[in-house]
Amino acid sequence: MDAERLYEAAGRIEGVERLLSSADSRIELAPGEERRIVAVHDRRDAAELSVELGEGARLHLVELFTSEAFRTLKLRQRSGSSADVTILQLGSANLDCTVDLDGPEAESRVNGLFLAADGDHCEFALRTNHNAGDCRSESLVKGVAGGKSTGEFRGLVYVAPDAQRTDARQTSRNIELGDEARILTKPQLEIYADDVKCSHGATVGQLDGEAILYMRQRGLTDRQARRLQIEGFAADVADRCAIAELAETLREAVAAQLENM
Amino acid sequence: MLTVKNLHASVGDKEILRGIDLEVRAGEVHAIMGPNGSGKSTLASVLAGNEKFTVTAGEVEFLGRNLLEMPIEDRARLGLFLGFQYPVEIPGVSMANFMKQAVNEHRKFRGEEPLTASQFLKLMREKSAVVELDAKLTSRAVNEGFSGGEKKKNEIFQMAMLDPKLAILDETDSGLDIDALRIVATGVTKLHTPENATVVITHYQRLLDYIVPDYVHVLYKGRIIHSGDKTLALKLEKEGYDWLINDYEG
């Protein structure tokens, strides 16, 4: 239902293209072109999307998974282009995303969230290749695992030998809701240039007991307090949605999935 | 309203409260003072229902109910408010959303209908004025990035929203500059009515210039060793606790 709702909501926004994921697709953005694309994965399948961004092109891409799909995403960016990508995995899914920043002053922004309920397995792999100098990349991937579930984030930022003045930031934040939930996070940096600003951070934690106590003192039940805290943790990925008009629909989809966790 | 009899409480195997007796009636303001480590914050936490502490003996009755049997949220809904010494930051959870759930849980407990969105917004506006809380703060995440003064104002704002029968304010004055102290203390005073009661835990007499107590109690080693009226706080400010402690230990 979430997939349908997002698909419908996207249809109501002018200039947003919709993709159903069953087939491989290849998209080219002409120099200076701007495109907004929503891809919905609501069946078990495997499909590749590759996008070539010409000079100064701008891509806004939202990918929603509501079924166990395998997705390969390849973005190749020429100079001065920018790609803003939002990825939401509501349950088992497998994403393998590679971003190639081939021309100077290209920008990549990836915001991701996976919610693994009991029995789910989420995989999120993101490789960002800084092949040219003066590019920026920023990624934030959050994960929540409940019940007996697993989640895995693998992130790699590669900086080529002549990609000077690279600015790369990679963040992975995760919450395990119980003793049987497992999240593995592997953020890596591979840097061959010397004039770069790169940072990466990864955390796996539990809910904050002090915050739960605080909310209960104001009258919320333990369950409500936990729920509010997880929602707060997850919501900012929706808030940063690459297509701002869809943020509310994503937030609702997240809230609905949290009911199952 | 609140009757505490011979209350003992521990954390782990360390006994912190060692026989507290306290009676708070509607319309009263009590101040609890005492040296560091005497058990003031523990008393507040135990009354609020913090599960970190184990009650090993004694009774607490609040509005005719056995308080110690109730979970923390039911104590809150029945009308017990604890102003935290260190209000917690909750990233991603907006003040408005949090307060809306809290207010409506209180209403549900009393068998009342939840507030509509416009009623709720009106209430927020009205109550944020009590502590001169910047309206912008109520659209931000709970306490996140708030200054020390804003956090404490935010505690009193929440107290105003929830309209408790008994408010226990745990060192609400600590870390406040003179202006914030005045605003917070005046806010508390404005909220005081003949039907509710306030217990302020403080180190300093200066708060009591604004919130004038009917009773002042001195807590030491987990017991109330002395009680008096507001003049006791002035005497403590001038002479410290030694005269009481020596008397007690002697």
Per-residue pLDDT of chain A (261 residues; tens, 9 = 90+): 577 888 888 889 988 999 876 778 999 999 999 999 999 998 888 999 999 999 999 999 999 999 899 999 999 999 999 999 999 999 999 999 999 999 999 999 999 999 999 999 999 999 999 999 999 999 999 999 999 999 999 999 999 999 999 999 999 999 999 999 999 999 999 999 999 999 999 999 999 999 999 999 999 999 999 999 999 999 889 989 999 999 999 999 998 898 888
* A117-146 residues touching B, CB cutoff 8 A: none
Is there a contact between B90 and A216 if contact means CB atoms under 8 Å apart?
Answer: no
Output Rg (C-alpha) for chain A, integer angstroms: 18
Find out whether A123 and A92 touch, Cβ atoms under 8 Å. Answer: no
Please give the mean pLDDT across all residues of chain B: 93
In the predicted model, is pLDDT for residue B250 greater than 80? no
Which residues does chain B have within 8 Å of residue A142's beta carbon, measured at their own beta carbons? none
Nearest CA of chain A to the CA of B106: how many Å? Answer: 7
| B50 close contact with A: CB closer than 8 A | yes
Distance CA B240, CA B248 (A): 14
Residue B204 pLDDT > 90, yes or no?
no
Closest CA to B192 of B156, B216, B233: B156
Residues whose CB falls within 8 Å of the CB of residue B207, separated by 6 or more in sequence, listed in order? B172, B173, B181, B185, B200
| H helical segments located in B57-147 | 72-78, 95-109, 117-130
CA distance A42 to A7: 10
Q: Which residues of A touch B163 (CB under 8 A)?
A: none
Which pLDDT value is given to residue A1?
57
Angle at B172 between CA B169 and CA B173, to 5 degrees: 140
Burial A136-159 (b: 16+ CB within 10 A, else e): bbbbbbbbbbbeebbbbbbbbbbb
Q: Phi, psi (5° rounding) for residue A245?
A: -65, -15
Alpha-carbon distance of A161 to A226, in angstroms, equals 46
Nearest residue in chain A measured CA to CA from B99: A218
pLDDT at A21 (0 to 100): 66
What is the average pLDDT across B43-60?
96
Consecutive H or E run containing A135:
none
Q: How do residues B11-25 score in pLDDT, each as one tens digit?
A: 999 999 999 999 999
Among the partner residues A221, A222, A232, nearest to B90 by beta-carbon distance: A232
Q: How far apart (Å, rounded) are the C-alpha atoms in residues A192 and A162?
A: 8
Helix (H, G, I), strand (E, B) or coil at B147: coil
Note whether A217 contacts B88, CB cutoff 8 Å: no
C-alpha distances in angstroms, A13 versus A38, A82, A84, A238, A246? 11, 21, 17, 17, 9
Q: What is the pLDDT of residues B213-224, one digit of tens each?
A: 999 999 999 999
The answer to whether A225 touches B98, Cβ cutoff 8 Å, is: no
Q: Which residue reads 């990035």 in tokens?
A: B145
Q: Is pLDDT larger for residue A152 or for residue B137?
A: A152
Query: Structure tokens of B236?
Result: 């403590």
Looking at residue B175, its pLDDT comes to 82
Provide the CB-side half-sphere exposure for A154 (13 A, CA): 9
- Lookup: tokens for A69: 């799909």
- Test A220 with B82 for CB contact under 8 angstroms: no
Total Cβ atoms within 10 A of residue B238: 8
Strand partners, A53: A29, A77
Are the beta carbons of B31 and B169 closer than 8 angstroms? no
Look at residue B137 in the predicted model and tell me its pLDDT: 84
Cα separation values, B32 from A173, B164, B223, Å: 42, 19, 11
Q: Looking at the complex, report in whole angstroms how far the Cα of residue A225 sits from the nearest Cα belonging to chain B.
A: 9
CA A252/CA A240 separation, integer angstroms: 14
pLDDT digits (tens, 9 = 90+) for B231-246: 999 999 899 899 999 9
The verdict on domain B2-249 having CATH code 1.10.1200.10 is no
Query: Residue B131 — very low, low, confident or very high, per pLDDT cuts 50/70/90?
Result: confident
Handedness of CA A212, A216, A217, A218 (dihedral sign): positive
Structure tokens, A220: 């919320």
- Residue-range domain boundaries for chain A: 2-258
Q: Is the pTM of this model over 0.90?
A: no
- Contact flag A228-B84 (C-beta cutoff 8 Å): no
Residue range B144-166, pLDDT digits in tens: 999 999 999 999 999 999 999 99
Phi, psi of B71 (to 5 degrees): -70, 160
Contact call for B88 and A210, based on CB within 8 A:
yes
Q: Which residues of chain A from 205 to 244 reach within 8 Å of chain B, CB to CB? A: 208, 210-211, 213-222, 224, 228-229, 231-236
Q: How far apart are CA B211 and CA B189, in angstroms?
A: 6
Q: Indicate the pLDDT class of residue B173, thresholds 50, 70 and 90.
A: confident
Assign B81 to helix, strand or coil: strand
> What is the pLDDT confidence band of residue B135, given thresholds at 50, 70 and 90?
confident
Between strands A166-176 and A196-205, the pairing is: parallel
pLDDT of residue B138: 83
HSE-up of residue B187 (Cα within 13 Å, Cβ side):
30
The answer to whether A202 and A175 have CB atoms below 8 angstroms apart is: no
The shortest C-alpha distance from A207 to chain B (Å) reads 11
Reading the block at residue A62, the tokens are: 């939202």
